[in-house]
């Protein structure tokens, strides 16, 4: 029983009695840190090799430990691993099972190592894999956006600012406006991966290990690029966890903004797009409803992601030096953020690939008033300062409103009441295609500019390759369930 004297715990020797059962449950982390099992075993295998290299254990002992850890790994992957009531965390469970398989030699594995540098190492290894996994899923969404931009090329969409029609744009330009935020997210993921891939192992509890362990050898064994320079900082550093939550939150925010617009565009008032049945739900009361629940969940989960980031930052803000148990609170929000994105991103990619665009409804929604800036440019080309031209066109827009006419229906005489510079050709301004074609600067919405942008997007996808094969994640159960 946990409330009784228990020498099997990693730290039980100093205590005359065990934790209160409720305090034990409060303290234990195996319910959520079990997913670190595979990376914990990887780290332990590397540590065993480093101990042998340092002359702390013999080659035979190292081989026995590595064989035992490999057998434990097989049990973990097959789901046969059984938790015991004394398993406080993933490290305790694996070491306990190792000793069961190898006998006393398994007890030598933890020589010179603390759970403080062990968990920091496990979390580092897991984060690197999670970053690669999420990077792959973000790329799926980016690819879907590029494909949409290519397939929907030439379709004109009313562009909105302040949620008011502003200027005509190509739908392809709009799709790509959601590609580039995700490109920045992937750049952030890559930068985070570089900063995260630093080895804490060998830092001990806070002062470093007393054995001549080759930490660079350890880093190389675990595929990490460097070793931490300070053992106190190494065991308490959770910058990568916080940064992971920040980048995850930015990804979710960018998807939320896309989802918000797609939700509106699916409404009857817009009707610009229709979601596939595969990504929609119905109403239990109203038979006609087709709800964009997948997009609404995307929007909602972004808010939850912000909460996870704020929560971890609040935990970290006042911690004293070195490791403190508060840091156990780092894993759940990071794991949940990863799980959320690994569901959200493929769903959004699926929504994009299967939705149906209704170009005729987009065209019908185009208000000639969104060409008012083109009217001002008409005057500018005749020598009128832009500010003056802006005011003059404003008067024309007001006149059309008072006469209950569309801007392109206003007679020439009404234009000429404002300025004699308006001539018969003024009605030629009301050409949505021509307006778009005039925005032919890099990054603009003209067909030529968008084609270049498409090439840039494709180049980005080619140049930003996934860094490694995506390893399967350890099942969260460890009890065979």
Give strand pairing partners of 198. Answer: 226
Sign of CA dihedral 172, 174, 177, 182: negative
Rg of the Cα atoms in the chain: 31
Residues 365/272, Cβ–Cβ less than 8 Å: yes
Total residue length of the chain: 481
Residues 254/185, Cβ–Cβ less than 8 Å: yes
Cα separations (Å) of 83 from 95, 133, 204, 478? 12, 28, 26, 6
The two tokens of residue 390 are 């802006």
User: In 3-state terms, what secondary structure has residue 157?
Assistant: strand
438 in catalytic set: no
Residues 263/296, Cβ–Cβ less than 8 Å: yes
Residue of 171, 160, 167, 159 whose CA lies nearest to 369: 167
The two tokens of residue 422 are 């308006």
Give kind and range of the element (H or E) at residue 430.
none
| Distance, CA of 342 to CA of 61 (rounded, Å) | 40
Catalytic residue among 74, 276, 283, 314: 283
> Degrees (nearest 5) of the Cα angle 234, 237, 239?
140
| Distance, CA of 62 to CA of 52 (rounded, Å) | 6
Catalytic residue among 16, 162, 284, 481: 162
Cα separations (Å) of 172 from 183, 185, 222, 306, 442? 17, 21, 43, 30, 15
Residue of 428, 418, 420 whose CA lies nearest to 390: 418
Residues 76/68, Cβ–Cβ less than 8 Å: no
| Distance, CA of 126 to CA of 221 (rounded, Å) | 15
284 in catalytic set: no
To the nearest 10 degrees (0 to 180), the angle between helices 37-53 and 115-151 is 130
| Distance, CA of 289 to CA of 284 (rounded, Å) | 9
Residue of 407, 428, 430 whose CA lies nearest to 418: 407
Give catalytic residues, as residue numbers: 162, 283
């Amino acid at each position: 029983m946990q409330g009784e004297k228990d020498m099997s715990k990693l730290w039980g020797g100093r205590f005359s009695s065990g934790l209160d059962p409720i305090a034990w449950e409060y303290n234990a982390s195996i319910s959520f840190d079990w997913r670190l099992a595979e990376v914990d075993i990887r780290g332990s295998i590397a540590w065993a090799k480093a101990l042998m290299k340092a002359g702390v254990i013999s080659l035979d002992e190292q081989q026995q430990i590595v064989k035992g850890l490999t057998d434990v790994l097989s049990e973990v992957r097959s789901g046969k691993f059984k938790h015991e009531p004394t398993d406080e965390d993933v490290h305790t469970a694996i070491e306990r099972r190792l000793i069961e398989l190898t006998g006393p030699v398994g007890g030598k594995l933890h020589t010179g190592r603390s759970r403080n540098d062990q968990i920091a190492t496990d979390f580092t290894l897991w984060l690197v894999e999670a970053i690669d996994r999420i990077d792959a899923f973000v790329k799926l969404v980016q690819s879907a956006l590029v494909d949409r931009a290519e397939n929907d090329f030439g379709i004109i969409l009313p562009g909105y600012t302040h949620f008011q029609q502003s200027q005509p744009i190509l739908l392809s330009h709009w799709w790509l406006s959601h590609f580039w935020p995700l490109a920045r997210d992937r750049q952030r993921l890559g930068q985070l991966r570089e900063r995260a891939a630093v080895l804490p192992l060998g830092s001990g509890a806070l002062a470093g290990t007393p054995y001549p362990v080759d930490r660079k050898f350890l880093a190389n064994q675990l595929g990490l690029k460097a070793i931490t320079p300070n053992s106190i900082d190494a065991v308490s550093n959770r910058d990568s966890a916080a940064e992971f939550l920040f980048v995850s939150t930015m990804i979710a925010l960018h998807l939320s903004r896309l989802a918000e617009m797609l939700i509106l565009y699916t409404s009857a008032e817009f009707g610009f797009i229709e979601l596939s049945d595969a990504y929609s739900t119905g109403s239990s009361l109203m038979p006609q409803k087709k709800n964009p629940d997948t997009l609404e969940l995307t929007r909602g989960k972004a808010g939850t992601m912000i909460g996870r980031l704020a929560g971890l930052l609040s935990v970290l803000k006042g911690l004293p030096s070195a490791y403190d148990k508060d840091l156990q609170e780092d894993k759940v929000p990071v794991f949940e953020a990863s799980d959320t994105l690994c569901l959200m991103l493929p769903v959004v990619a699926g929504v994009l690939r299967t939705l149906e665009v209704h170009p005729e409804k987009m065209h019908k929604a185009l208000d000639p008033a969104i060409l008012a800036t083109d009217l001002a440019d008409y005057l500018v080309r005749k020598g009128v300062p832009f500010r003056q031209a802006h005011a003059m066109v404003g008067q024309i827009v007001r006149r059309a409103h008072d006469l209950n006419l569309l801007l392109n229906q206003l007679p020439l005489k009404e234009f000429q009441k404002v300025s004699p510079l308006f001539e018969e050709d003024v009605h030629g301004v009301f050409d949505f295609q021509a307006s778009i074609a005039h925005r032919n600067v890099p990054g603009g919405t003209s067909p030529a500019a968008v084609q270049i942008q498409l090439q840039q997007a494709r180049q980005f996808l080619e140049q930003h390759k996934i860094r490694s094969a995506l390893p399967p994640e350890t099942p969260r159960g460890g009890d065979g369930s």
